[in-house]
Amino acid sequence: MALNKVEICGVNTATLPVLTAEEKDFLFERIREGDEEARELYIKGNLRLVLSVIRRFAASNENVDDLFQIGCIGLMKAIDNFDTKLNVKFSTYAVPMIIGEIRRYLRDNNSIRVSRSLRDTAYKAIYAKEKYTKAHQKEPTIHEIASEIGISKEEIVYAMDAIQSPVSLYDPVYTEGGDTLYVMDQISDKKNREENWVESISLGEAMKRLDDRERHIIELRFYEGKTQMEVAEEIGISQAQVSRLEKNALKCMRNYLRV
């Protein structure tokens, strides 16, 4: 996917305008009054946001022009649904909308065929999740989604898994401070259970260097094979916090084992 293109869908990305905070507020006032010209100006002033989002899908084989068009649809939906009373920046609200629109497009064009009933269930769950997130400013649990749409959580999980695009274990999840976290870092190895006793002793000593919460997270993730989301729900913190604590714990253990 050629993300270094200057012209995408006939748009010269090098000359895209950037709106100031005052201009955004002024245009939104006009948009609420039904001014279509203001809406067009607001869209053009946020196209750089679409460009930044489609860079996240650089590993896909999709045409960059197609992704840009789909991202613009997500941007327009965000503009039409944004509530200035939410007290959040427009970009904070719009980015998940743009990402969601692109992901739906990629799922619909996935070469792996998924039954219509599974796809419908998955889309109901996605819609319910977006609706709940907008209303409560936080993501719902699988139980809350199941309750909202009247479908068992097992069916929802199965449907969501079915529409996911295949990924490589070496696909990056995020990068922080020069350290990249890959998909393989987020899953447990359930096959290699026979570690030799020297490794076991070394790991045991490294674990002692962690505080109680970090040690508990490592045990749940790598000894019990739980996902970060499952760990987050069990100990009552966010998945982002689990990821951060896990990374710090592993770094501490690696530093000890290198000595």
Q: What backbone torsions phi and psi does residue 57 show, to the nearest 5 degrees? A: -105, 30
- The predicted model gives 124-148 an average pLDDT of 86
Alpha helices in the chain, H assignment, sequence order: 21-32, 36-44, 47-54, 64-81, 90-108, 116-136, 142-149, 153-162, 197-207, 212-218, 228-235, 239-258
Residue 194 has pLDDT above 60, yes or no: no
User: Reduced to 3 states, what is the DSSP secondary structure of residue 180?
Assistant: strand
- Model confidence at 191, in pLDDT bands (50, 70, 90)? very low
Residue 192's pLDDT is 45
Instruction: Return d(Cα 203, Cα 34) in angstroms, integer.
Output: 63
> Which residues pair with residue 179 across a beta bridge?
176
- pLDDT recorded at residue 164: 64
Q: How far apart are CA 173 and CA 186, in angstroms?
A: 9
Q: pTM of the prediction?
A: 0.43
- Main-chain phi, psi angles of 104, to 5 degrees: -65, -40
Give the best-scoring range by mean pLDDT among 100-109, 190-199, 224-233. 224-233
Q: Which whole number is the average pLDDT over 1-29?
A: 73
152 pLDDT band, cuts 50/70/90, is confident
pLDDT greater than 70 at residue 66: yes
Return mean pLDDT, the chain: 77
> What percentage of the chain carries pLDDT values higher than 70?
74
Contact predicate 209/253, CB 8 Å: yes
